[in-house]
């Protein structure tokens, strides 16, 4: 086996007019630096209370620029346990809520270190392995990768696939991915986009110092009053 470095995937990006054609619910993997601050806990709570609308394939605890040396899958499991206490009420209003056991079995740890320095030929985490397993599954639906923290677990999965498969197989794997990242929270996101230019990847990255984080994708959802980078949806126009 040869670990190829600097070998890019020559694939055309998905056209802007493309519409995914599939039945059933969207498939989702979340990569999250949960435990760093409350935002990802709140996001996961929100995800769980509409989890009957999605097929949650994996919840992967990651590092990020704000949490470089720690992973907190136990925080994910604690929130899933809390979800289990309200699930009977949710079932009174709709069907399809996943069980606690099912969700708990989909929690994984990602790369244990920060950024691309924590990737390599012998560094495939259980989260990267789970991601590969999901995409390889006998299911034609695309897989949405929602990146709330660093992206190096996704990078590790792509590294492993590229090292072990023929170029046409790599391309088929990449074609199934739909990545939405709230920003670049390590150097893996830019690396992925450079090495796999055909990958569908939504992000509006910040600068390395995060000094312009109001440009990040997530600011269009919630604004950034606390860090005072921009008013956004929960801010004000300064005329008060």
Q: What pLDDT shows up at residue 10?
A: 40
Residue 222 neighbours by CB under 8 Å, 6+ apart: 232, 233, 234
Among 195, 168, 200, residue whose Cα is nearest residue 9:
195
The answer to whether residue 14 sits within a structural domain is no
- Total domains present in the chain: 1
Q: What pLDDT shows up at residue 201?
A: 94
Among 92, 101, 108, 106, residue whose Cα is nearest residue 55:
106
Q: What pLDDT shows up at residue 210?
A: 54
CA distance 207 to 209: 5
CA distance 24 to 87: 22
Which tokens go with 95? 């069907």
Whether pLDDT at 50 is above 60:
yes
The answer to whether residue 22 sits within a structural domain is no
What's the mean pLDDT in 61-67?
94
The answer to whether residue 229 sits within a structural domain is no
Chain mean pLDDT for the chain? 85
The answer to whether residue 150 sits within a structural domain is yes
Q: Confirm whether pTM is higher than 0.95.
A: no
Among 78, 63, 67, residue whose Cα is nearest residue 31:
63
Residue 180: strand pairing partners: 146, 202
Its domain, for residue 54, covers 27-204
Whether pLDDT at 162 is above 50:
yes
The answer to whether residue 111 sits within a structural domain is yes
| pLDDT tier for residue 24 given thresholds of 50, 70 and 90 | confident
The answer to whether residue 151 sits within a structural domain is yes
For residue 173, what is the domain's CATH number? 3.90.245.10
DSSP percent split of the chain into helix, strand, coil, nearest 5 = 40, 15, 50
Whether pLDDT at 220 is above 80:
no
Among 123, 125, 135, residue whose Cα is nearest residue 165:
135
Which tokens go with 145? 């990768």
| pLDDT tier for residue 6 given thresholds of 50, 70 and 90 | very low
What's the mean pLDDT in 37-63?
95
C-alpha Rg value of the chain to the nearest Å? 18
Whether pLDDT at 211 is above 90:
no
Q: What pLDDT shows up at residue 2?
A: 31
Q: What pLDDT shows up at residue 163?
A: 97
- Of the listed ranges 76-80, 116-120, 160-164, 232-236, the least confidently predicted one is 232-236
The answer to whether residue 139 sits within a structural domain is yes
The answer to whether residue 73 sits within a structural domain is yes
Task: Write out pLDDT tens, residues 167-180.
Answer: 999 999 999 999 99
């Amino acid at each position: 086996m040869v670990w190829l470095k600097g070998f890019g995937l020559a694939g055309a990006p998905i056209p802007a007019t493309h519409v995914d054609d599939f039945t059933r619910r969207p498939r989702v993997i979340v990569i999250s630096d949960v435990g760093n601050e409350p935002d990802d806990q709140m996001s996961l709570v929100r995800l769980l209370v509409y989890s009957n609308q999605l097929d949650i394939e994996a919840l992967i605890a990651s590092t990020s620029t704000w949490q470089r040396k720690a992973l907190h899958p136990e925080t994910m499991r604690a929130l899933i346990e809390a979800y289990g206490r309200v699930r009977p009420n949710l079932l009174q209003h709709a069907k399809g809520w996943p069980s606690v056991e099912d969700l708990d079995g989909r929690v994984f740890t990602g790369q244990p270190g920060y950024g691309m320095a924590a990737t390599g030929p012998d560094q495939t985490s259980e989260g990267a392995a789970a991601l590969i397993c999901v995409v390889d599954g006998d299911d034609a639906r695309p897989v949405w990768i929602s990146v709330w923290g660093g992206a190096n677990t996704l990078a590790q999965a792509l590294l492993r696939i590229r090292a072990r498969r023929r170029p046409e197989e790599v391309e088929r794997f990449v074609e199934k991915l739909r990545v939405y990242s709230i920003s670049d929270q390590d150097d893996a996101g830019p690396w992925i986009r450079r090495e796999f230019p055909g990958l569908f990847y939504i992000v509006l990255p910040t600068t390395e110092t995060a000094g312009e984080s109001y440009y990040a994708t997530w600011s269009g959802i919630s604004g950034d009053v606390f860090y005072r980078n921009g008013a956004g949806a929960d801010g004000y126009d300064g005329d008060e």
